[in-house]
Structure 1
Amino acid sequence: METVLEQPPTGEGRQFSHYRIGGTLGEGGFGRVHLAWDERLAREVAIKFAVRDESGQRGLRYEAQRLAAQAHRAFVAVYALEEHAGQLALVMERIHGNTLAHALDRAGALPAERVLRLGTAVAEALAVAHHHGWAHGDLKPSNVMLTECGDVRILDFGAAAAIDPEQTVTTVSAQGVAGTLAYLAPERLLGARAGASGDIYALGLVLYEALKGVRDFEVDAAWGGLHRRLHGSAAGRRLPRSMDAALADLIERMTRRHAQDRPRSMSEVHRRLVKAQEQQRERGRKRADHRAVLGLIVMFGLFVMFVHDRDMRRTASLTGAEHTAGISDPVARAEQLLGEFDTSGAVAEAVALLEGRLAADPHDAGAAALLAIGYCLRYAGDERDEVWLKRARQAAEQAEREEPQQALVQAARGWVEEYLNNKAGAEGHYLRARRLDPDDRHALLGLARLYSQSDRAALAQRVLTDAMRRHPGDRGFVDTQGTLLYQQGDLAGAEQAFRRSILLKPSGVQAYVSLSGVLLRANRIDDGLHVLQQGLRHGSNGRLYGNLGTLLYMRGDYAEAATAFERALSDAKGSPNDYLKWANLGDTLRWLPGREAQAHAAHLRALQMVDTLLQRSPDSATLQSRSAVYAARLGQASLARQRIEAALGRGSNSADLQFRAALVAELGGARETALTHLQDAIARGYPTHMIASEPDLLALRRDRRYHRMLTGKPE
């Protein structure tokens, strides 16, 4: 039976709801894609119309759901699934560019550098999709779009499927397999459903075709080519001898006949492609250095033969000038290191480079601005020493005296004011930096962070959307997006963001810390512990040990938790100036026999440190409420009541604040007040598993009202 598209809404110039239909852009798994004009929002869109039969409509709905679930920037954004006059249509982002298939038809084989870039982008996106349980199922050059701005987008989720590790599917014939025969893995030709390994195989063929300019075999070779794929090997898949050996080996492994012989995951493919890119860049640098040396030798020979003494003096002067200009290299290196702030020693190295630059040239405003940001990062890391904030202010003011209209300088001023808790001043500097340069990364990052911390989620999201468009693949914005989603209670979205950040930089610490916090909130303690162990493989860090202690504490393993918190506070491994880690250590030691005096000392230290912070941020409800809990545990009931009332008086309605108020009331013997605050905390979304694991509420568990609250049963 033939499948026919319903004609009226797809004709060029016709109307479909509030969309004016234009020309055909292409065809996908369950229909034809048209250009259209959205008359309500005055923008171009792409509309995919379902084929008329029931399976086509069902397939398009399925594709829309799968595509909408993908958060990675390489997947096309879904705007709506519209139904009008009995016709179903998927409304999507309009992508300007050409498919990889078109590029190969026009230009033949692509340079290896370009193939590596697009392969890395596709592998990163598919690794994220696989992690969330979905395989594309129909990866091919015509489904890879090369945009006008150089990005890679993946099209057509019509053949996508949930990944089934057990492969519990009925075997079907090759004619019934969803996907394009030319790029299907052997196991899929035998009836297996779409899976991660099949996507790995297809990407290997796509990379091969991009490098060679021709397919591995022709589809219309019919069953001859399919038979070779099922029963032969990839031995005939030869790449040019000049091709990088590591890349050739990876493609050969990706296209092996048996799935178990291919790379274990798309994440592994992504890592190997990233490594191949790095190796290629290093070889390029060495070749450039070699050419530069040869050029210098030739120039020197000419110099000796033809230049007089006067010219020699002029050349010496020029050489001195070039040497002076070359000192700017450490500044670029320092900025790169600041982007790797959660790598051990990176910020300290950046600060040393910038201090050295300013010693040579005190008027370098850019170096002074970056130094101010570096000092802020030293304070925010494992050190927490106020001296870094004083130095940051001095460096930022020095930069502003030199170049007040440099965007980076204004961004640095914003960072310093933000860390000094002058939120209004920080926002002013960030906005001025953006007026001077809308692309400035440090201003965008600071503004997004400031808005997310100030309960201005809509503004934060607007800045992040703009920032990720301007700086695709920058994990700083991905991490900030995850934090914003966490604050909004979207734990699934936050988890996805932090896992993407880990994919972008597996050796970065912050994403492991943040992800473990999300998993704790979701009551996935074992998953959180596994994530932290992965992070610790990349090096010791106070934040990793701090979260490890929290997860162990929640599990009731107080001895191991205390050890983790002690490491989190050690000079060598952690952050002895972090009040929260002292408080957590005190909380843990209270439940270990014979450690009561040490617990008291830890809580006292935490309270003293918070008092210092409150002098700078007296309006902070978070600091007020935490210090109230510490005071209550130290037996300072009057101070505890004063602090918690001040925090509640700020008008905050957060679940965390209500939970701390319940703790203060229970420790102070005010049972009725404790129950009221606890009920408010639950109503605002505080996780019941975290309430149930709190030892300070042991006595409260005897009250039947407590259990009714946790179970949600009526009186």
Structure 2
Amino acid sequence: MPMDRERQVLSAVELALEQPPATRPLWLAEQIGHDRVALAEATSIIGYQTRTAVLHTTRTMRGFAAGDMLDRFRIVRLLGSGGMGDVYEAEDTAHSEGRRRVALKTIRADFGSDQNIADQFKQEIGLGQAITHPNVCRIYDLGLYSPREASGQSEGPILFLTMELLRGRTLAQRLHEDGPMTPADALAIIRQVADALTAAHERNVVHRDLKPGNIMLVPSAKSDTPRAVVMDFGLAIEISAADGAANLKSRSGTPDYMSPEQVVCEPVGCASDIYSLGIVTYEMITGRFPFEGKTSNYRMVERLHTPPIPPSACCPELVPDWSPQILRALELDVNKRYETAESFAKALSQEGVANDIANKVVNNPGLLALPEPPVAAPTRTRARRWTAAAVLLSGLACASWFGRKQISNWLHPLPQERRIVVLPFENIRNDEAERPFTDGLMQTLVSQLTELEPLQGSLSIVPANEVRKLKVTTAQEASMTFGATLAITGSVERSPRGIHMIINLVDARHVKQLRSQDFFVNPDDPAEMQEMVVRRVADIVQLELQPRTVERLARSAPASPAAYDFYLRGTGYLTQRSGEDSAIAEFKLALGADPNYVLAHAGLCEAYWQKYVDTKEQSWITPARQECDQAIHLNPGLARPHVSMAILNTGTGKYEEAVRQSKAALQIDPGSDQAHIELAKALDALGQKQEAEVTLKRAISLRPGNGLNYATLARFYYKHARYKDAEDPYKRLIELMPDNPAGYTNLGGLYLEEGNNTEAEKVLKRSMYIQPTYQAESNLGFVYFLEGKYAESVPMFAQAAQTNPKDYMVWGNLADAYRWTPGKAAEALAAYRKAIELTQESLNVNPKDAKALSDQALYRAKSGDLPGGLQASAKALAFAPGNPNFLFNAAVISEIAKQRGAALQYLGQAIKAGYSLREVETDPELAGLRRDKRYSGELK
């Protein structure tokens, strides 16, 4: 298949996988059904992805406990689980040399009946046994076990194989836990993996799935270098000795490590494994993949048409000769790659490179910080070198007197700009019942660190909700998405000694762990627990806890340990989609344990308000207000309840009270982003635009590293048709968060208003490339609508409405697209009615919501209710007389009502207020008005 068609197919597949499984075939047919070859290929890929997902998400039907027997093998313990089955440590009780310990890999009963998977299992045995090499995992036996229940009914046969028991960790675990490797350490592993591949290739076996997860690092008693062992020959294939290749009918492998020929289902050979080894080498050195893209499928596509990023660009300190050697292994043309894995390893091991590695290890200024000795006679130079080493050891001995923390700070200095992302904490026991507690601990920590920002200069903390929304889980993703320089990772485990926590600080740009704290906290003392967690984190990021911070933490702690546990769980549930009901239950339990726990009242207020936001049921507003009132009454010196009350008052149209509560919060916490935002919203609603703008700029000056403040200022400008002013904050947001789709989506909407459709389409497609969102889909649909491509805009708006069915603007856009698409009048009317219904839900809570009124007026007029449209439009303009968007809507409504004079008047006022002339020129509702002489003479 040609590369351009392959790219088109894989892009369609990426979007198709976002659809519900039942609708994927129809969706693909609509998108690429005109090309039968492309459709067949896409359907094949979807099947592969679906099978892979099943293998990685389905658990085994039956597990085995210590002491259970499978044939002659006695289970010792479970080592790990996968989609196809489990891996156990077991004893071979009948081995000739005594009870040999082995790894026993099972295959599920339901998969065992699948002939293709059973054949794959047998293939792993056959090809694995054909290779005898110390760097290849040895395969022993294949067995079939038929368990019997007490009833005598069989559960179905269980296939299993036994193999060499390897103790250590995979290369993937090593890279995840410790970050990139030095060239010297990497080379020691690469040589061994190359030897393993050479042994396989000499027997005409291609692995086809080489990746860090299939390379085990086994500690060696004789050397500091671990033994590298290549595992899992389940996808291996035997190639023809004549041409060194094998033809494949389907795509197999792991997308991020596939060779280009595997991606397009062309013949594979030894060069395919060499390509995969090149990617593994690249990742070992740089900590990232050689191709850009948010998902593995996009990165898989990129290798077909885009050269890899040179590793030296990601790792400037890399040995100079390594970059071209690695890039040669990643050549698109198989004939340009190394002929053998051994030759690749030798190229990296050549004398000049090896010497360069040795020199870098000895003379690394970041590690030793020693001056170079002057040029002198050989004996003199050698003496100076030994003296320098002695001085260094003496210095380290003195440093140990000062303490381990100072040594760590000296060896691993932090970046000057500390833009920190706290990543989701790991639940060590993988107990889903403990997940809310772990998430709540992480959320609480972020909130507490955020309150330290104004006191710490170059510090900025990425909001936890942004981390969750964009599903950022690794330090590398944090760097790409938020521009983070540091990432905090952690793990939590309950134990008899208390709550065991490990907190790690990672250099996000180089994916390198800098510092770590391993400690226990006492859950029976909430005040001590709160302070210790914050203090430990503050210590590793070099923050100074002010006395007032410690005092505030103590005052916010509950009297009951149970109350704090329930509160953390409630906070964790509140971070989950549709978790409000569980959060409400946990917060109530916290208040049952301590009725005066202020944070639990505040959390309950927020949970009630979120229930309203999700359901639009007004019954949630009163209890939300009551909980906020109670929190403020109990502790008026805490900022959070004041901010929550401001949000509630803004949302219900009580703007003066929202101003008062926001200012109260800022008196307590002058750096609160949310308090600034709520104050600006309320001031704007009261017509105090200049004060609102000053408030938002003040928030930016206090925390220039927080992208949320730039986005809010840009939206303020956009609302008031100050499009040019909005460009700079959106561009600044993109600079701060280059892989965050929100900046591109909003900038695309801005370009739309300015009439720059070309730039709009470009940045919106960039946003969709990073991560499809309903906002980007809707804006991209609007590009097509403004260009008069109404039928093409329908699928984009429809997808946006499916993704977020509660956004009335998306339904209004969809209705407009149907309205101007022939034969879709009934669909247009249904969509307008849905949009009207949703706007009314907002107006039931806040009758002064001028935007909802103006938009509802437009939907009513377009759906045939002209009296209702005119009345609602007049009310909106009474609340906000000079708003350009409301004036334009009034002009359109008047034109639909055949009131040309009023339409021209409103349109003139909208344009003078800054409304986009481009949109005036392209709106199909105004086609007749634009032909009017008064329009040409007076407005244009």
TM value normalised by structure 1: 0.51
Aligned to 1:607: 836
> Is 1:499–1:515's contact at 8 Å kept on the other side of the alignment?
yes
Structure 1 residue 628 corresponds to structure 2 residue 857: yes
> Is 2:482–2:739's contact at 8 Å kept on the other side of the alignment?
no
Task: Choose from 625, 638, 654 the match for 1:422.
Answer: 654
Once the two structures are TM-superposed, the CA of residue 657 in structure 1 deviates from its matched residue by 2.1
Note the alpha carbon deviations across 1:508-558, whole angstroms, 9 max, x for none. Answer: 554444322212111122322333333334544333333333233222222
Once the two structures are TM-superposed, the CA of residue 212 in structure 1 deviates from its matched residue by 7.8
Mapping for residues 443-482 of structure 1, pairs under 5 Å: 443-482=675-714
Structure 1 residue 698 corresponds to structure 2 residue 927: yes
User: What amino acid maps onto 1:641 in structure 2?
Assistant: L
Note the alpha carbon deviations across 1:57-109, whole angstroms, 9 max, x for none. Answer: xxxxxxxxxxxxxxxxxxxxxxxxxxxxxxxxxxxxxxxxxxxxxxxxxxxxx
- Matches of 1:601 and 1:273, distance apart in 2: 40
> Is 2:717–2:723's contact at 8 Å kept on the other side of the alignment?
yes
Query: 3-state DSSP class of the match of 1:569?
Result: helix
Task: Choose from 649, 652, 660 the match for 2:889.
Answer: 660
Instruction: Give 1 or 2 for the bigger CA radius of gyration.
Output: 2
> Is 1:209–1:216's contact at 8 Å kept on the other side of the alignment?
no
> Is 2:570–2:584's contact at 8 Å kept on the other side of the alignment?
no
Structure 1 residue 684 corresponds to structure 2 residue 913: yes
Mapping for residues 248-327 of structure 1, pairs under 5 Å: 271=480, 277-278=486-487, 283-284=504-505, 291-292=518-519, 327=565
Once the two structures are TM-superposed, the CA of residue 268 in structure 1 deviates from its matched residue by 11
Aligned to 2:900: 671
- Matches of 1:635 and 1:276, distance apart in 2: 55
User: What amino acid maps onto 1:292 in structure 2?
Assistant: F
> Is 1:568–1:581's contact at 8 Å kept on the other side of the alignment?
yes
Aligned to 2:795: 563
Shift in CA distance, 611/406, structure 1 to aligned 2, threshold 3 Å: same
Unpaired segments ≥5 residues, structure 2: 1-363, 375-406, 416-475, 491-502, 507-512, 523-557
Structure 1 residue 584 corresponds to structure 2 residue 813: yes
Note the alpha carbon deviations across 1:663-690, whole angstroms, 9 max, x for none. Answer: 1111111222222222222222211110
Aligned to 1:372: 605
Shift in CA distance, 212/416, structure 1 to aligned 2, threshold 3 Å: farther
- Matches of 2:667 and 2:726, distance apart in 1: 30
Structure 1 residue 356 corresponds to structure 2 residue 586: yes
Mapping for residues 170-569 of structure 1, pairs under 5 Å: 271=480, 277-278=486-487, 283-284=504-505, 291-292=518-519, 327=565, 330=568, 356-362=586-592, 363=595, 364-373=597-606, 376=609, 389=621, 392-400=624-632, 402-506=634-738, 508=740, 510-569=742-801
- Matches of 1:584 and 1:687, distance apart in 2: 18
> Is 1:376–1:415's contact at 8 Å kept on the other side of the alignment?
no
- Matches of 1:518 and 1:624, distance apart in 2: 23
Aligned residues: 430
- Matches of 1:329 and 1:211, distance apart in 2: 44
Structure 1 residue 644 corresponds to structure 2 residue 873: yes
- Matches of 2:738 and 2:652, distance apart in 1: 31
Shift in CA distance, 321/687, structure 1 to aligned 2, threshold 3 Å: closer
- Matches of 1:607 and 1:466, distance apart in 2: 37
- Matches of 2:371 and 2:760, distance apart in 1: 44
Note the alpha carbon deviations across 1:227-256, whole angstroms, 9 max, x for none. Answer: xxxxxxxxxxxxx99978999xxxxxxxxx
Once the two structures are TM-superposed, the CA of residue 346 in structure 1 deviates from its matched residue by 5.7
Query: 3-state DSSP class of the match of 1:473?
Result: coil
Once the two structures are TM-superposed, the CA of residue 483 in structure 1 deviates from its matched residue by 2.0
Once the two structures are TM-superposed, the CA of residue 447 in structure 1 deviates from its matched residue by 1.0
**Which piece of structure 1 moves more, 501-510 or 623-632?**
501-510
User: What amino acid maps onto 2:814 in structure 1?
Assistant: L
- Matches of 2:637 and 2:618, distance apart in 1: 28
User: What amino acid maps onto 1:365 in structure 2?
Assistant: V
Once the two structures are TM-superposed, the CA of residue 368 in structure 1 deviates from its matched residue by 3.3
Task: Choose from 822, 826, 830 the match for 1:593.
Answer: 822
TM value normalised by structure 2: 0.40
Shift in CA distance, 442/279, structure 1 to aligned 2, threshold 3 Å: closer
Note the alpha carbon deviations across 1:444-467, whole angstroms, 9 max, x for none. Answer: 231123223443232223323433
> Is 1:451–1:460's contact at 8 Å kept on the other side of the alignment?
yes
- Matches of 1:660 and 1:283, distance apart in 2: 54
Note the alpha carbon deviations across 1:99-154, whole angstroms, 9 max, x for none. Answer: xxxxxxxxxxxxxxxxxxxxxxxxxxxxxxxxxxxxxxxxxxxxxxxxxxxxxxxx
- Matches of 2:777 and 2:738, distance apart in 1: 18
Query: 3-state DSSP class of the match of 1:327?
Result: helix
Shift in CA distance, 461/671, structure 1 to aligned 2, threshold 3 Å: closer
- Matches of 2:626 and 2:848, distance apart in 1: 25
Query: 3-state DSSP class of the match of 1:278?
Result: strand
> Is 1:384–1:577's contact at 8 Å kept on the other side of the alignment?
no
Shift in CA distance, 416/280, structure 1 to aligned 2, threshold 3 Å: closer
Shift in CA distance, 653/442, structure 1 to aligned 2, threshold 3 Å: closer
- Matches of 1:541 and 1:216, distance apart in 2: 54
Query: 3-state DSSP class of the match of 2:519?
Result: helix
User: What amino acid maps onto 1:455 in structure 2?
Assistant: G
> Is 1:621–1:652's contact at 8 Å kept on the other side of the alignment?
no
User: What amino acid maps onto 2:935 in structure 1?
Assistant: Y
- Matches of 1:394 and 1:599, distance apart in 2: 42
> Is 2:616–2:841's contact at 8 Å kept on the other side of the alignment?
no
Query: 3-state DSSP class of the match of 1:635?
Result: coil
Shift in CA distance, 697/245, structure 1 to aligned 2, threshold 3 Å: same
Mapping for residues 132-151 of structure 1, pairs under 5 Å: none
Note the alpha carbon deviations across 1:334-375, whole angstroms, 9 max, x for none. Answer: 6xx99xxxxxx7665698567535533454322432453465
- Matches of 1:643 and 1:419, distance apart in 2: 20
Shift in CA distance, 669/536, structure 1 to aligned 2, threshold 3 Å: same
Note the alpha carbon deviations across 1:8-65, whole angstroms, 9 max, x for none. Answer: xxxxxxxxxxxxxxxxxxxxxxxxxxxxxxxxxxxxxxxxxxxxxxxxxxxxxxxxxx
- Matches of 1:648 and 1:662, distance apart in 2: 12
Aligned to 1:231: none
Shift in CA distance, 676/461, structure 1 to aligned 2, threshold 3 Å: closer
Shift in CA distance, 326/405, structure 1 to aligned 2, threshold 3 Å: closer
Shift in CA distance, 275/578, structure 1 to aligned 2, threshold 3 Å: closer
User: What amino acid maps onto 2:565 in structure 1?
Assistant: I
> Is 1:331–1:367's contact at 8 Å kept on the other side of the alignment?
no
- Matches of 2:608 and 2:738, distance apart in 1: 25
Note the alpha carbon deviations across 1:256-289, whole angstroms, 9 max, x for none. Answer: xxxxxxxxxxx99974995662279964499987
Aligned to 2:61: none
Shift in CA distance, 270/708, structure 1 to aligned 2, threshold 3 Å: farther
Query: 3-state DSSP class of the match of 1:455?
Result: coil
User: What amino acid maps onto 2:677 in structure 1?
Assistant: L
